[in-house]
């Protein structure tokens, strides 16, 4: 296996671990966890929000370490945080201990993306970077598929699942030692300067990413709980819905190809519309489980493509800082998810499922209207390519 292929494979696996297992599996297993630990909806919402808040802290930490610590060390910290956090969840006996494990697992996601972007920039030319980065980003979908399949086999034994996830985390962490380049990023800018946000297009990108992140929490944190509590889905059906979400999300690996062919703005528009449609479509689960599966699939494909499009836009706007180009939109996206999780819980309690889903689908639609314009983007718009 070539060095570049090994890097992409290990990075894909780390993304599957940190996003698919350490972060988003909480939403899949929430109905079982709530029943076992006696958690209410608000408490579950705040615990879910903690993983997004920890994600934000992880990205800031990764920014501050850029140029001082090698990508290998930061990715090893990501794998270790995921593994330990998942292990704490295994022995959780209360909302507090569960929240600690979920938050530490969430920290791993923030530590994952920036060093991987730096490692890819060291190993790949400018032309191949978008494809490599979007393939890695699709690791989220692979992790979701795996967690859904494991949930079916475990038949409600959520602690056993987290044991399995933690063991996988240990193996992936070891793999990273051999796959990620050991040398320092070096030579370039270090840390994070707020002046970065003043660059053309960055503020608009952040506003759009925040709304997208806020909108996504309806499915990521409460989708499984809604399917079970409102529409009578069994644990097996919920797991199959999660698998549908992840399987459709694999299409996100083609985001680089799609944006090259159809333009970033067009792909982002369709992806955000897909997120809105999938969110509202969850309400049709009352008619047939098939509709719920379809809604989750639409959301999964749209979310992974949309996040990949933000990734490409960010690196395009900050070509000299690939870690920030990827990390800034993902940070703001996570801030939206941090705010959105408890907000959706409150909205759900106040106005019911249908109104809450419509409100959060609207946030994705608003995100469409905000698009980062730069000289290259403006030229593409004029030529009809974007």
CATH of the domain at 311: 1.20.1250.20
pLDDT at 16: 93
pLDDT at 375: 45
Quick one: pLDDT band at residue 339, thresholds 50, 70, 90? confident
Average pLDDT, stretch 339-363? 91
Average pLDDT, stretch 166-175? 95
CB 106 within 8 A of CB 58: yes
* pLDDT at residue 38 tops 90: no
**Measured between alpha carbons, how far is 344 from 364 in angstroms, rounded to an integer?**
14
Average pLDDT, stretch 316-343? 82
Residue 119, sorted as left (phi over 0), alpha (psi -120 to 50) or beta, turns out to be alpha
Quick one: pLDDT band at residue 1, thresholds 50, 70, 90? low
* pLDDT at residue 156 tops 80: no
The SS3 call for residue 91 is coil
**Measured between alpha carbons, how far is 68 from 221 in angstroms, rounded to an integer?**
35
**Measured between alpha carbons, how far is 334 from 53 in angstroms, rounded to an integer?**
7
CB 106 within 8 A of CB 52: yes
Handedness of CA 112, 115, 118, 120 (dihedral sign): negative
Q: Quick one: 339 exposed, middle or buried, by C-beta within 10 A (0-12, 13-18, 19+)? A: middle
Enumerate long-range contacts of 230-237, CB under 8 Å, 24 or more apart: 230/285, 230/286, 230/353, 231/285, 231/286, 231/289, 231/292, 233/285, 233/289, 233/292, 235/31, 235/32, 235/151, 235/155, 235/156, 236/152, 236/155, 237/289, 237/292
* pLDDT at residue 168 tops 90: yes
* 69-95: pLDDT as tens digits: 888 899 999 999 999 999 999 999 888
In total, how many domains does the chain have? 1
Q: Write out the residue range of the structural domain in which residue 111 sits.
A: 3-382
CB 292 within 8 A of CB 285: yes
- The separation between the first and the last C-alpha atoms of the chain, rounded to the nearest angstrom, is 36
Mean per-residue pLDDT of the chain: 84
pLDDT at 83: 96
- Is the pLDDT higher at 130 or at 211? 211
DSSP 128: T
Average pLDDT, stretch 4-20? 91
CB 268 within 8 A of CB 317: no
C-alpha R_g of the chain: 19
Could you give the C-alpha distances from 37 to 33, 89, 93, 178, 373, in angstroms and in order?
Answer: 6, 12, 7, 39, 48
How much of the chain exceeds pLDDT 90, in percent? 34
The SS3 call for residue 66 is strand
**Measured between alpha carbons, how far is 192 from 285 in angstroms, rounded to an integer?**
44
Average pLDDT, stretch 190-202? 67
pLDDT at 194: 59
* pLDDT at residue 200 tops 90: no
* 120-146: pLDDT as tens digits: 888 887 777 778 887 888 888 889 899
Comparing 29-38, 94-103, 232-241, 312-321, the range with the smallest average pLDDT is: 312-321
Average pLDDT, stretch 135-158? 86
């Amino acid at each position: 296996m070539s060095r570049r292929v090994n890097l992409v494979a290990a990075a894909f696996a780390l993304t599957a671990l940190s996003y698919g297992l350490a972060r988003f599996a909480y939403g899949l297993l929430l109905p079982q966890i709530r029943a076992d630990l006696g958690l209410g909806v608000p408490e579950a919402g705040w615990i879910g929000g903690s993983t997004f808040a920890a994600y934000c802290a992880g990205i800031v930490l990764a920014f501050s370490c850029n140029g001082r610590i090698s990508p290998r060390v930061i990715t090893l910290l990501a794998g270790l945080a995921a593994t330990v956090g998942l292990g704490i969840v295994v022995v959780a006996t209360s909302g507090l201990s569960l929240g600690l494990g979920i938050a530490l697992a969430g920290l791993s996601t923030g530590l994952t993306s920036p060093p991987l972007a730096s490692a890819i920039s060291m190993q790949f030319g400018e032309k191949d970077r978008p494809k490599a980065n979007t393939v890695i980003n699709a690791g989220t979908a692979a992790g979701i598929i795996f967690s859904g399949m494991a949930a079916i086999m475990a038949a409600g034994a959520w602690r056993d699942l987290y044991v399995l996830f933690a063991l996988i985390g240990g193996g992936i962490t070891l793999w990273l030692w051999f796959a990620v380049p050991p040398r320092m990023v070096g030579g370039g800018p270090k840390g994070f300067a707020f002046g970065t946000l003043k660059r053309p297009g960055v503020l608009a990108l952040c506003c759009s990413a925040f709304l997208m992140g806020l909108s996504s929490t309806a499915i990521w944190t409460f989708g499984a709980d809604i399917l079970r509590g409102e529409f009578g889905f069994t644990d097996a059906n919920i797991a199959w819905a999660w698998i549908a979400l992840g399987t459709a999300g694999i299409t996100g690996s083609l985001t680089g190809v799609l944006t090259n062919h159809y333009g970033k703005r067009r792909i982002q528009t369709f992806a955000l519309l897909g997120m809105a449609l999938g969110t509202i479509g969850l309400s049709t689960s009352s008619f047939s489980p098939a509709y719920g599966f379809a809604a989750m699939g639409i959301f999964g494909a749209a979310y992974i493509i949309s996040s990949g499009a933000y990734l490409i836009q960010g690196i395009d706007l900050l070509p000299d800082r690939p870690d920030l180009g990827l990390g800034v939109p993902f940070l703001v996206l996570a801030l939206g998810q941090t705010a959105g999780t408890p907000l959706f819980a409150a909205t759900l309690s106040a106005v019911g499922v249908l109104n809450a889903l419509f409100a959060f689908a609207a946030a994705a639609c608003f995100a469409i209207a905000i698009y980062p314009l730069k000289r290259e983007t403006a030229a593409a718009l004029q030529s009809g390519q974007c």
